[in-house]
Amino acid sequence: MKFTYLLSAFLATLAATSPIATVSDPAENTELVTRADNAVESAELVARSPTVEETPQYAAIKAKHSNLKKDHYYYFYVTWPRGSIIQGDHETKAEVEELRNSLGFDHIGIIVGQVTETEKTVKKKSTLIKNFQARLFHLTKDKSGKSVFTMTEWKSDHKPLRFGGETNKRKHDAVKRKAQDWIEDHPTYNVQTNNCNTFVHNIATSL
């Protein structure tokens, strides 16, 4: 009896001090692996995401129309505040004042262009450059009293802008021809019927 008792006690002590094997839940292990994979993937996406850089032109039009889309075409009105000097314009003081009183500003033009996104990589660092490639069109009066239109690459210069609308490539590409047609049909400047404002709104109608 003594031997049996001692053996039972020994076995009980041994069971109490031995580590207990546990069976892990396969579903729990799968969840942990999935979380780890997602964390690695998120880190890789952050590392690969390019830095976004906006040109002054893009930032200027974005302030007037936030819903800009890559490769889409837009047009905006640009105005010269009172007292501005307009290069190449030979309107008389009386003409400028008449125009200013009717429009509220000294001069107006229209910019038409396309939103572009270009990715550049330097030393494994990518930068996404957002830009608005546009041309500025406006009409002035020359020394002889003729109407002339000017077409230049538009650079943001902090003149007031107003959103005009969205257009397409075909109409965008036709603006220069439209401006030339207007000058051919309206060769003489007239502060009431053939001024910077009538020219701009004729262009806008085609867009």
DSSP one-letter string for 73-141: EEEEEEEEPTT---TT----HHHHHHHHHHHSSSEEEEEEEEEEEEEEEETTEEEEEEEEEEEEEEEEE
Query: Is 30 within the bounds of a domain?
Result: no
CA distance 161 to 199: 17
Tokens of 119: 């990715």
Name the β-bridge partners of 125: 122
User: pTM, whole model, 2 decimals?
Assistant: 0.75
| Average pLDDT value for the chain | 85
**Residue at 8 is within a domain:** no
Range in 14-18, 114-118, 166-170, 174-178 with the lowest mean pLDDT: 14-18
C-alpha closest to that of 199 among 94, 79, 108, 71 = 108
- The answer to whether residue 107 is domain-embedded is yes
Domain assignment of residue 110, yes or no? yes
Q: Which range is least confidently modeled, 29-33, 47-51, 78-82? A: 29-33
| End-to-end alpha carbon distance in the chain | 109
For residues 196 and 79, is the Cβ–Cβ distance under 8 A? no
The mean per-residue pLDDT over the stretch 125-153 comes to 95
Q: What is the pLDDT of residue 37?
A: 59
* pLDDT(78) > 70: yes
- With respect to residue 116, please indicate whether it lies within any of the assigned structural domains: yes
- Range(s) of the domain holding residue 180: 51-206
Query: Is 34 part of any domain?
Result: no
Identify which has the larger pLDDT, 40 or 79. 79
15 part of a folded domain: no
Average pLDDT over residues 169-177: 97
- Tell me the pLDDT tens digit for each residue of 45-66: 445 688 999 999 999 999 999 9
- Which helix (H) or strand (E) segment holds residue 154: the answer is none
Question: How many domains does the structure of the chain reveal?
Answer: 1
In a domain, 89, yes or no: yes
State residue 88's pLDDT score.
Answer: 86
User: Is 34 a residue whose pLDDT tops 90?
Assistant: no
Angle at 61 between CA 109 and CA 183, to 5 degrees: 20
